[in-house]
Amino acid sequence: MHHYGNKIIDESRQGEALMLESEGHKKLYIESYGCQMNFSDSEIVASILAGEGYSTTKNPEDADLVLLNTCSIREKAEQTVRNRLSHLQYLKKTKPAVKIGVLGCMAERIKDKLLDEEKLVDLVVGPDAYRDLPELLKEVNDGRKAVNVILSKEETYGDINPVRLGGNGISAFISIMRGCDNMCTFCVVPFTRGRERSRNPQSIIEEAVQLQDAGYKEITLLGQNVDSYLWYGGGLKKDFAKASEIARASAVRFAELLRRVAEAVPGMRIRFSTSNPQDMTEDVLYTIAEYPNICKYIHLPVQSGSSRILKAMNRGHTREQYMELIEKIRSIIPDCGLSHDMIAGFPGETEEDHQDTLSLMEFVKYDFGYMFKYSERPGTYAARHLRDDVPDEVKTRRLNEIIDLQQKHSLYRNQQHLGKTVEVLVEGTSRKSEDHWFGRTTQNTVVVFPKEQAKPGDRVWVTVEYCTSATLLGKLASLSC
Ligand code: 5AD
Ligand code: SF4
């Protein structure tokens, strides 16, 4: 999912469906929920199934196969999918032969129990098992139910050329690593996406060059924890120490990957997501500062401003260390856009901890943020050992205070652009007005301006005349950058 601007919403990564369309004789309808990684995975699934003669459709009623690529991050995300599954029952009534599959994190978390709980589901496939889809579909088409939720040590889908559908033809995702080893105590991701493994840098660069040749202007390098990228010939990051001396000596880390990509596609904007404060190194910051085509924007989730809560979350850094990192970013990359993820009401969070969160926000004054109420996830350390003891109304009140403060800071950050001329990559027509283009600055701030000669894909200069907390509004200053 693209985060178009600084929309401040609780469940920002859920419920947006991406419908894909392409050519072929059997029809696939695929809907994605959750993070950008899931949207990127759906493009891999579409590619694997294209090899089986499936083309995509935007209409579930035309489909022979309906897939939901699901998210487990919060209970609400799973509920959204459950509701969608109940709604989709009507498809089986009108077309009994249609097959329905659940992919992604919910498939991995709930496994074959999903088949008992959701009677209309024929197929359950976890994030590392998509290559098995052709075999699983054979079983399903023979009238059996099929499940594969095996997590892998190597799978990165590095050789699969994603089907680019549903996008704007200007920006695309490139997946660079999968899984997460950090084991934050609230997070289900290590259970649903397995351990960290990185993709061959050569295949990443080839994909970037292909996108450039196809006219794309922006890529986002994706991973659950991009700063932890480590290529030493394949395999889990945690097995790095066991690799040969030659493999270890020639290992490629994130800063080096960024540098290689920036040099391979100098005409493209490069973004990346998500960074983890405990894994972000200084050389990454110097690389961002050095290459004009790497966007000056870092999404740097913190989750809490209290060192005590950060410890209980197993975040691997204190409030002070995070503040030092922010200062380092500000000194190495002046004007860097910054955003955060924040959780309100983690077990044991006191009013004082909450005040620490607000004061950390005051210190950073983020450009935008994604803010959530704590949601207990079965199987996590927090669910097993910590009582979800902050009452819901307290969580809601704290979340609202966080959201209000973020809105104030977003407005403050946007106001700093007033009167200035900023570089914008035009992405398309504004969602609010047919007569306006919308695009983003290097800091990821949304800019809207009247349609003139510029067209989607152009990089233009826009003079900012007015702003809200979500958007800069301006007029075209010059056509080329
Ligand atoms: N409850 C609430 N929010 C969560 N996140 C992850 N797990 C939970 C949870 N159990 C949030 C974090 C993370 C973002 C993707 O979702 O802020 O950075
Ligand atoms: Fe949701 Fe996390 Fe899975 Fe992404 S990795 S789909 S955010 S649970």
pLDDT tens per residue, range 169-205: 999 999 999 999 999 999 999 999 999 999 999 999 9
Q: Any idea what the CATH number is for the domain that residue 11 is in? A: 3.40.50.12160
Q: Are residues 139 and 186 in the same domain?
A: no
Residue 477 alpha carbon to ligand 1 centre in Å: 40
Q: Is the CB of 399 under 6 A from ligand 1?
A: no
Q: Are residues 142 and 253 in the same domain?
A: no
Q: Are residues 140 and 226 in the same domain?
A: no
pLDDT attached to residue 168: 85
Q: Are residues 90 and 173 in the same domain?
A: no
Residue 373 alpha carbon to ligand 2 centre in Å: 16
Average pLDDT of the residues in 307-312: 98
Q: Are residues 186 and 61 in the same domain?
A: no
Classify residue 366: in a domain, yes or no: no
pLDDT tens per residue, range 21-47: 454 589 999 999 999 999 999 999 999
Q: Where are the alpha helices (DSSP H) in 111-216?
A: 113-117, 133-141, 189-193, 201-213
pLDDT attached to residue 481: 55
Classify residue 365: in a domain, yes or no: no
User: Among the three residues 244, 266, 295, which one is the final residue of a domain in this structure?
Assistant: 295
Classify residue 257: in a domain, yes or no: yes
pLDDT at 3 over 70: no
Q: What range defines the domain where residue 453 resides?
A: 421-478
Of 13, 31, 40, 41, which is closest to residue 87 (Cα–Cα)?
Answer: 31
pLDDT at 295 over 80: yes
pLDDT at 301 over 70: yes
Residue 377 alpha carbon to ligand 1 centre in Å: 10
Q: Are residues 187 and 244 in the same domain?
A: yes
Classify residue 223: in a domain, yes or no: yes
pLDDT attached to residue 479: 74
Q: Is the CB of 37 under 6 A from ligand 2?
A: yes
pLDDT attached to residue 24: 54
Q: Specify whether the CB–CB gap between 446 and 367 falls below 8 A.
A: no
* Residue stretches of the annotated binding site: 35, 71, 105, 180, 184, 187
Q: Among the atoms of ligand 2, which is closest to the Cα of residue 33?
A: 6
User: Among the three residues 239, 260, 295, which one is the final residue of a domain in this structure?
Assistant: 295
Cα(418)–Cα(372) distance, rounded to whole angstroms? 30
pLDDT at 278 over 60: yes
pLDDT bucket at 449, cuts 50 / 70 / 90: very high
Q: Are residues 11 and 136 in the same domain?
A: yes
Classify residue 124: in a domain, yes or no: yes
Q: Is the CB of 187 under 6 A from ligand 2?
A: no
Q: Among the atoms of ligand 1, which is closest to the Cα of residue 375?
A: 1
pLDDT attached to residue 14: 35
pLDDT at 480 over 70: no
Classify residue 36: in a domain, yes or no: yes
Q: Is the CB of 35 under 6 A from ligand 2?
A: yes
Q: Any idea what the CATH number is for the domain that residue 274 is in? A: 3.30.750.210
Classify residue 115: in a domain, yes or no: yes
pLDDT tens per residue, range 209-237: 999 999 999 999 999 999 999 999 999 99
Of 109, 144, 151, which is closest to residue 380 (Cα–Cα)?
Answer: 109
pLDDT attached to residue 19: 47
Q: What is the mean pLDDT of the chain?
A: 93
Average pLDDT of the residues in 263-289: 97
* Residue stretches of the annotated binding site for [4Fe-4S] cluster: 35, 71, 105, 180, 184, 187
Q: Are residues 37 and 123 in the same domain?
A: yes
Q: Are residues 70 and 189 in the same domain?
A: no
Q: Is the CB of 187 under 6 A from ligand 1?
A: yes
Q: Any idea what the CATH number is for the domain that residue 429 is in? A: 2.40.50.140
Q: Among the atoms of ligand 2, which is closest to the Cα of residue 188?
A: 8
Higher pLDDT, 207 or 168: 207
pLDDT tens per residue, range 314-343: 999 999 999 999 999 999 999 999 999 999
Q: Are residues 106 and 206 in the same domain?
A: no
Residue 389 alpha carbon to ligand 2 centre in Å: 24
Residue 221 alpha carbon to ligand 1 centre in Å: 20
pLDDT attached to residue 414: 97
pLDDT attached to residue 4: 26
pLDDT at 388 over 50: yes
pLDDT at 17 over 70: no
Residue 72 alpha carbon to ligand 1 centre in Å: 10
Go through the chain and tell me how many residues it has.
Answer: 481
pLDDT tens per residue, range 127-172: 999 999 999 999 999 999 999 999 999 999 999 999 987 778 999 9
Classify residue 161: in a domain, yes or no: no
- DSSP states of 213-272 as a string? HTT--EEEEE-TTGGG-EESSSSBGGGGGGS-HHHHHT-EEHHHHHHHHHHH-TTSEEEE
Cα(151)–Cα(220) distance, rounded to whole angstroms? 25
User: Among the three residues 148, 178, 208, which one is the final residue of a domain in this structure?
Assistant: 148
Q: Are residues 182 and 267 in the same domain?
A: yes
Residue 418 alpha carbon to ligand 1 centre in Å: 33
Q: Among the atoms of ligand 1, which is closest to the Cα of residue 380?
A: 10
Which of 105, 184, 225, when mutated, tests ligand 2's pocket best, judged by the most ligand atoms within 8 Å of its CB?
A: 105
Cα(220)–Cα(36) distance, rounded to whole angstroms? 10
Residue 451 alpha carbon to ligand 2 centre in Å: 37
Q: How many domains does the chain have?
A: 3
pLDDT attached to residue 202: 97
Q: Which of the ligands is closest to the CA of residue 34?
A: 2
Q: Are residues 471 and 428 in the same domain?
A: yes
Which of 74, 184, 372, when mutated, tests ligand 1's pocket best, judged by the most ligand atoms within 8 Å of its CB?
A: 372
Residue 369 has φ and ψ, to the nearest 5°, of -160, 160
pTM of the model: 0.93
